Structure 1
Amino acid sequence: MSAQITKPAVSLDQIFSLTAVRTDRWREMLELGRKWLKHEVSSEQVQEHFTQLSDLEILHAYPGKPLMQALAAQLVAEQRDAFVALCGRISFSILARYYKEESHEWQLYPDASALSDGRAHDEALGGRPYFEVLIVAPSANSRVERNVQLLRSMRRKEDDFVYEPVVVESFQDAFCAIAVNPNIAAVAIFEGFDFSSKQKVPLLDHAIQELSVHIDDDHLALQLADVLANYRPELDIYMLSDRHPEEIASDSRAKCIRRVLYAVEEPMELHLSILEGVRQRYRTPFFDNLKHYAKQPISTFHALPIARGKSVFKSDWIRDMGEFYGHNLFLAESSATTGGLDSLLEPTGNIKEAQERAAKAFGAEHCYFVTNGTSTSNKMVLMAIAKPGDIVIVDRNCHKSHHYGMVLGGLLPYYVEAFPMKAYSMYGAVPLRAIKKALLDLKAEGKLERVRAVDLTNCTFDGHVYNTRRVMEECLAIKPDLVFLWDEAWFGFAHWSPFLRPRTAMGAAANIESWLADPNSIRDYEQQQEQLGEQPSAETLLATRLIPDPRAVRLRVYQTNSTHKSMSAIRQGSMVLVKDVDFYKIEPQFHEAVFTHSTTSPNQQLIASIDVARRQMELEGYGLVSNAIQIAFDIRSQIKRHPLISRFFTVLGADEMIPEQFRESGFVDFLAEGMHWNKAVASIRDDEFFLDPTRITLVCGTAGYDGTQFKNLLASRFDIQLNKTSRNSVLLQSNINNTRSDVAHLIRVLMEISTEIEVHLARSGEEGRLQFEQRVQSLMHDVPDLPNFSEFHPDFRTDVGNHAAVEGNIRDAFFRSWDQENCEYVALNSEECDRRLREGPAMVSAKMVIPYPPGFPILVPGQIIGADTIEFMRKLDVKEVHGYEASKGLQLIRLAAQ
């Protein structure tokens, strides 16, 4: 029997960021109360909203029954002033999070001698971290109520943390609670609860509409544990049974349960287990030890004068640096790896433990901290997984670290092209068909065994997210031992969103791993093989959603994260996450790659920040990421709906960022009219590409600004910083650091700029209007074609087959250019350049040429320079082009035949 859930229409932003809905509802309640106070709305309207709010509030500990009952009583008695005052206090406390810090926030009257829920004053929060425990139990159960009271009574001042219980009575309420309440850090499940909720809140119905559960009363508690763990894997889950807890503990479905307890025993074990579970996640082995180390009276006789800070604080000339950074920075510095510290290169103590905790948190088997940024992480992985002469299928538009990694490792890149977005001078991501075609072409040439890896960026700088599972499965169907390197420098946060997690490398790998263990996977594979026949054509394979042979697959997945780009780590903090069944074979060479690329003097503060970033995401990442998504939706919504701003600025939707053929679900955009949640779910699950909701491509060309101009304007006049630009757009990124104040500032600035443009147009007459239109025309329509990769010159190809875009020896070309006798220069705008394009000899790039923006290499060493690349470079209006000096011209490799 399956539960039937109604599916009312609600906006996608509410579903993606359920945790933000609560504050919105309270603000709406307060606004409605103020109107009620002025007799502008009826009591019935206030009551209707309050009833919906009350149904939502059962999923949170604060404000709790006493305060909600007081509000209800004030509403019935029409005590309007008191209702608005209390409603405002609760609303502000939730928004400012005062209830987590001040015990009196829980009181009906702040000066009362006892707390409204019966807690004594000596249980004040006292600055301790606060969390909530979800208790799922049968309704009207006196034993459960007694246990809840006992849990409250066991809390002590000595506890590291303080928590409040949230009690619900059904499967559906439990799921809704962990979806909307980011404070929940642990779940205690008593047996005997119902499946269906008694609440009638459309939003909560929508939160579980995709939940397909076959109700089995004997195992409903285990089913709930599994569903909650899949949605929020960081939660500690406890099962309390009054039957045979040992049988539950031995059930294979109980692997997500931290501990099974006998429900009739004293609840002290549950209380202690809850605190210990959170304590385990709170523990940061390296950071904790570094704090301890900084307190020790240590004399240093190693080569790091800045350690302990004496050379700074005793100086007459650089003391201001010490005053700026503070004592702890210097007290925590050391080049020693003894005395309680550890070595990043060969960790055996607290760094090793910190890495193991990070691996578990991100669903990986191994994790390595990197203090040189993800540029170094990428080079480490490439060096470890492939040897000179191996072929790597790689996105030509990936970060330069991948290309340089190929150079250093002597690997042969086989470049595949992302789909272009010419109108905005940017590329998207690589279609799966192009990747499969590359594999099939190499197979046809007898080179498939030399293909070692597929190397892709997920998500791209502009927010294109791959269907990682589908890419890996279809590639493994062609070559079952492929290694995958997913550069997720910008996407590390996505693990903490249940919607985005399946599209991360580790999330997809976990799903593939589960599929491989399912006996039905072999049946699915064999059925497809029968349909394909013995010798399917390449075109048939390209058009088929391929299923790999589960018996042959070797699942080997690497994910690099710029921890500093989306989590609270110091700049250059990065991680390598590993899920590789054959890692034991290459672990020694991976360590050699670490030795090769890592500094022997890693920064202690940086390592500690990676450790702390993991702690934060495990304990509050779900809520932080939900808020970051909500911030992005607020920006989109405000720009779209503002009558003046929307005249000059627009945010690109998925329909403009992703071609229709890659959106099989029909998904248009998050805020599109009539775009309901089921469409978004289908898009996340099935579409070839999905747009990261935290990335906002703001078109500024329609306001007469190119991307660089607008970026500089925001920075110089308005103190707004951003990074990536294109010819006619800028990229805004929301992250866990942003607040609604940031949104308000951005919208005010856009309105001010829009007003200035409007005033200027009004005052400048017809001539000024025509100049503005010509500028917009130039930026938005007179855009250069984006150059594709041409081909490697035959001198840098292992053989010359029938395909132009084959692998090339980028290393030989790179180092040949080091001898100036092997190089020549041709001016970009010269007649000689045009003649060489027409008549030859071919111009072969000696350098990697990377314009910023767009930030991808338009030329790599050994590549024949085509007319489209020359045209693109001539139309570039950016100042920063790495690998190109305008005064000298294009640096070319002088070929022997010349």
Structure 2
Amino acid sequence: MKNNQCRVLLFTADAQFGDRWVAELKPLADNDADAPLALSFHHTDSEGLADHLRCGETQVVVVDDTGASSEAIESTRQTLQRQRAEIDCVLLTDADSPRADNFECVISRAESNYGVVYRTLRRILLERISTPFADALREYVYAARDSWHTPGHSSGDSLSTSPWIADFYRFMGEHIFNTDLSVSVKMLDSLMDPISVIHQAQQSTARTFGAAHSYFVTNGTSTSNKIVLQHLLRAGDRVIVDRNCHKSVHHAMIISGALPVYLESSVNQQYGIYGPVPKAEIFSAIDANPGARLLVLTSCTYDGLRYDLKPIIDRAHAAGIFVLIDEAWYAHGRFHPELRPTALECGADFVTQSTHKMLSAFSQASMIHVGDFSWRKRDGGSHQSAEASVFDTAGFREDINMHTSTSPQYGMIASLDVARKQMSIEGYSVLSRTLAFADEIRRFVDDSTAFRSLNAEDLCGPDLAADGIRLDPTKVTIDVGCAGVSAPAAQARLFAEFGIQVEKNTHNTLSFLVTIGTTESKVLRLKQALRRLSEDAGQADATAYVISQRGQKLPPLSSIDALPRRAYFARGEKLTWQGEGRAALIGRIACDEVVPYPPGIPLLVPGQRISAEILDAIIAFTSERADLEMHGLRRVGALPALRVLTECEATAAVAELRVAQDSESTEAWQAWA
């Protein structure tokens, strides 16, 4: 018997018809020995629908419209989509009705040839589980064609026979090398100009994730963000952006020459965590910048905090502002009702996702999803234009190509194709298991250790109490400082003694990422390790605990006094903070981003005035957090330093920014539109 069971459910109030429908289709499925999946057929009325939707094997729902109004049928379809966005909805009807437009396909209720019905339903599922690019790659590899093209290792032959590096070939496995091909292989399509299997895979991805268009990116969401901002922005365009967004967004503004309007995030000093921007501040920035081109927010954050996006996106669209949501940490959100709505479902125009962070794709494998721009197409809308009605696919492709290698990693592309398939067919099941694991860990921490798991209220604080912020349960943050334990010391113990690598830590918290790859054994080992840490809490190293209690204060945003592009490309000068140098740095304008990593949130961005609080935070992170990387620091001899504008450069940069800020934003908007 096949293990890959797929349940086809008939939703009908006519139990007698349902019995006959199932009885006709069951033997056809039982006798289809060659099918790559096993179909089982069931029927239910409204009372049993919820139970069937909670079953991960339910993949197709056929809605019988006999005796039901159009409103009732549409309500049923919407219920199905809210609970299980990935499943296919089919309409069973006797009428040629416009209500069929919202369904995957339509089947006649009077169809007497049940072979046709069976093949139609099987085709729908086969299309969902197909992986056009991965299948073509497998076919090419198994054909064992001779390589007279790049890459130079020639399917691994340069390694497999070498006495010096054959061990690496054996360690990595042959398919790592024989799937490493090039654009010379025409049957595998081109990521630069996809017209066949990559194009088909991206179309399937768009359907699965609810996008109008989806694009594969092989250099991470960092590159995805740069592509979107390059597509939308030109020099001088205003961008409303969370100051604490990922460094890639700041890089993109340097490249474009855009004028950032920075939003200050909420800061939880107790745990050393940046939270979302308060909704009132976002609304105020939208109202105060009528000519803004783009709003950029991160949802969910590294720590799992999610905005109530719908009212924010609606407010931005009403002002004619495009919206990019960085969902790097939320690619899984569409596939379980507890995690929805996603940014696309809330109306975002562009969404970037790190498919590798939470789903089954290789590192660097990411996606860009594009919305439908319906807010710009509405009749009578104030933002209609030639650009408004049609997404510029050709222009967007050029922006992608500017950031994409002409030699992409084909295994990475295949992993995106396969990750999409998995979530389309079993996303609900694997996420139900994942969420159960996360809940189990939280309950164990709270009931059986001296530590405490943190919820959305703990992480957000009172400033966001009324903003509808939710927590992605797969990000489990544990307060170990409450038991007198230093989080960096606990992280080191987990790794050295228990073989456990955490996602990140602050001075008093540990963050664990619960993914679809989490298993029962991993959960058991984590619980044992946390129990041991808890039992030893009273014996914690006193010095480490003092540092943990002091922590690193997260500084408030200081003024932006130069365009990021001008500051970054200035020659500048390097100043160290050692000795009397600290006083000389305070008040100067930074040329570089200074970013503790993880999580990649800048303490300084180009063009920002260096305050005493920011400088002290940089010094503290650098001297006390050896577990972190600090990006953007320079050196003066052996001493760490910051690159800042010279006094002459600063005078010119401040004057330039003042001109940009004083320009008539409304007129600029009208000129563009």
Q: TM-score higher than 0.5 here?
A: yes
Structure 2: distance between partners of 1:785 and 1:753: 26
Q: Residue type of the partner of 1:891? A: R
Match for 2:436 among 630, 635, 646? 630
Change (3 A) 1:188 1:824: closer
Match for 1:508 among 341, 346, 368? 346
Match for 2:26 among 152, 158, 163? 152
- For 2:532, the equivalent position in structure 1 comes to 752
Q: Could you tell which deviates more after superposition, 871-880 or 455-464?
A: 871-880
Change (3 A) 1:329 1:824: closer
Structure 2: distance between partners of 1:217 and 1:453: 42
SS in 2 for 1:308: coil
Change (3 A) 1:636 1:660: same
Q: Residues 16-36 of structure 1: CA distance to partner in whole angstroms, max 9, x if unpaired?
A: xxxxxxxxxxxxxxxxxxxxx
RMSD of equivalent CA atoms: 2.4
Q: Residue type of the partner of 1:747? A: K
Change (3 A) 1:325 1:411: same
Q: Conserved in 2, the CA contact under 8 Å of 1:385 and 1:586?
A: no
Q: Residue type of the partner of 2:60? A: A
Q: Residue type of the partner of 1:602? A: P
Structure 2: distance between partners of 1:303 and 1:873: 45
- For 2:304, the equivalent position in structure 1 comes to 463
Task: Provide the aligned length of Structure 1 versus Structure 2.
Answer: 627
Q: Residues 87-128 of structure 1: CA distance to partner in whole angstroms, max 9, x if unpaired?
A: xxxxxxxxxxxxxxxxxxxxxxxxxxxxxxxxxxxxx33x5x
Residue identity over aligned pairs, in percent, reads 30
| 1:696-775 alignment runs, 5 A limit | 696-758=476-538, 760=539, 772=542
Q: Is 2:68 aligned against 1:323?
A: no
Structure 2: distance between partners of 1:825 and 1:836: 7
Residue 297 of structure 1 and its aligned partner are, at CA, apart by 3.7
Q: Conserved in 2, the CA contact under 8 Å of 1:484 and 1:557?
A: yes
Residue 585 of structure 1 and its aligned partner are, at CA, apart by 5.5
Q: Conserved in 1, the CA contact under 8 Å of 2:486 and 2:544?
A: no
Q: Conserved in 2, the CA contact under 8 Å of 1:558 and 1:580?
A: no
SS in 2 for 1:295: helix
Change (3 A) 1:655 1:233: closer
Residue 708 of structure 1 and its aligned partner are, at CA, apart by 2.8
Q: Is 2:576 aligned against 1:823?
A: no
Change (3 A) 1:392 1:221: closer
Match for 2:625 among 878, 881, 891? 878
Match for 2:208 among 361, 381, 384? 361
Residue 254 of structure 1 and its aligned partner are, at CA, apart by 5.1
| 1:301-700 alignment runs, 5 A limit | 301-442=148-289, 448-449=290-291, 451-477=292-318, 479=319, 481-502=320-341, 504-509=342-347, 557-581=349-373, 582=388, 584=390, 586-642=392-448, 645=449, 647=450, 649-664=451-466, 687-700=467-480
Structure 2: distance between partners of 1:712 and 1:184: 44
Q: Residue type of the partner of 1:329? A: I
Q: Residues 548-602 of structure 1: CA distance to partner in whole angstroms, max 9, x if unpaired?
A: xxxxxxxx61000000011100110000000153374643332221121111100
| 1:770-809 alignment runs, 5 A limit | 772=542, 776=545, 778-780=547-549, 782-793=550-561, 796=562, 809=563
Q: Residues 441-468 of structure 1: CA distance to partner in whole angstroms, max 9, x if unpaired?
A: 33xxxxx32x210111111001110111
Residue 133 of structure 1 and its aligned partner are, at CA, apart by 1.9
Q: Residue type of the partner of 1:358? A: T
Q: Is 2:41 aligned against 1:165?
A: yes
Q: Residue type of the partner of 1:878? A: R
Q: Unpaired runs of 5+ in structure 1?
A: 1-123, 194-215, 443-447, 510-555, 665-686, 762-770, 797-808
SS in 2 for 1:575: strand
Q: Conserved in 2, the CA contact under 8 Å of 1:425 and 1:854?
A: no
Residue 778 of structure 1 and its aligned partner are, at CA, apart by 5.0
Change (3 A) 1:185 1:812: same
SS in 2 for 1:246: coil
Q: Could you tell which deviates more after superposition, 492-501 or 400-409?
A: 492-501
Change (3 A) 1:259 1:790: same
- For 1:865, the equivalent position in structure 2 comes to 610
Q: Conserved in 2, the CA contact under 8 Å of 1:308 and 1:332?
A: yes
Q: Residue type of the partner of 2:7? A: E
Q: Could you tell which deviates more after superposition, 320-329 or 284-293?
A: 320-329
Q: Conserved in 1, the CA contact under 8 Å of 2:74 and 2:99?
A: no
Q: Conserved in 1, the CA contact under 8 Å of 2:266 and 2:463?
A: no
Change (3 A) 1:834 1:338: closer
Match for 2:567 among 786, 793, 813? 813
Q: Conserved in 2, the CA contact under 8 Å of 1:464 and 1:692?
A: yes
- For 2:591, the equivalent position in structure 1 comes to 846
SS in 1 for 2:591: coil
Residue 493 of structure 1 and its aligned partner are, at CA, apart by 0.2
Residue 811 of structure 1 and its aligned partner are, at CA, apart by 0.8
Q: Is 2:42 aligned against 1:240?
A: no
Q: Conserved in 2, the CA contact under 8 Å of 1:307 and 1:332?
A: no
Q: Residues 299-329 of structure 1: CA distance to partner in whole angstroms, max 9, x if unpaired?
A: 2222312233222222222222332333333
Q: Is 2:645 aligned against 1:893?
A: yes
Residue 721 of structure 1 and its aligned partner are, at CA, apart by 1.5
Structure 1: distance between partners of 2:64 and 2:280: 49
Q: Could you tell which deviates more after superposition, 872-881 or 395-404?
A: 872-881
Match for 1:834 among 569, 572, 583? 583
Task: Give the structure-1-normalised TM-score.
Answer: 0.67
Q: Could you tell which deviates more after superposition, 217-226 or 184-193?
A: 217-226
Structure 1: distance between partners of 2:124 and 2:62: 12
Structure 2: distance between partners of 1:639 and 1:564: 28
Structure 2: distance between partners of 1:846 and 1:219: 59
Change (3 A) 1:783 1:717: closer
Residue 776 of structure 1 and its aligned partner are, at CA, apart by 4.4
| 1:14-29 alignment runs, 5 A limit | none
Change (3 A) 1:136 1:791: same
Q: Conserved in 2, the CA contact under 8 Å of 1:222 and 1:253?
A: no
Q: Is 2:3 aligned against 1:134?
A: no
Structure 2: distance between partners of 1:469 and 1:190: 32
Change (3 A) 1:850 1:706: farther
Residue 236 of structure 1 and its aligned partner are, at CA, apart by 2.1
SS in 2 for 1:569: coil
Q: Residue type of the partner of 2:574? A: E
Q: Conserved in 2, the CA contact under 8 Å of 1:342 and 1:348?
A: yes
Change (3 A) 1:191 1:824: closer
Q: Residues 648-667 of structure 1: CA distance to partner in whole angstroms, max 9, x if unpaired?
A: x1111222112345333xxx
Q: Residues 186-212 of structure 1: CA distance to partner in whole angstroms, max 9, x if unpaired?
A: 12344569xxxxxxxxxxxxxxxxxxx
Residue 469 of structure 1 and its aligned partner are, at CA, apart by 0.9
Residue 270 of structure 1 and its aligned partner are, at CA, apart by 2.2
Q: Residues 368-395 of structure 1: CA distance to partner in whole angstroms, max 9, x if unpaired?
A: 1000011000000010011111111111
SS in 2 for 1:490: coil
Change (3 A) 1:836 1:368: closer
Structure 2: distance between partners of 1:338 and 1:383: 30
Structure 1: distance between partners of 2:393 and 2:111: 48
Change (3 A) 1:894 1:452: same
Q: Residue type of the partner of 1:323? A: R
Q: Residue type of the partner of 2:423? A: M
Q: Conserved in 2, the CA contact under 8 Å of 1:308 and 1:333?
A: yes
Structure 2: distance between partners of 1:789 and 1:296: 58
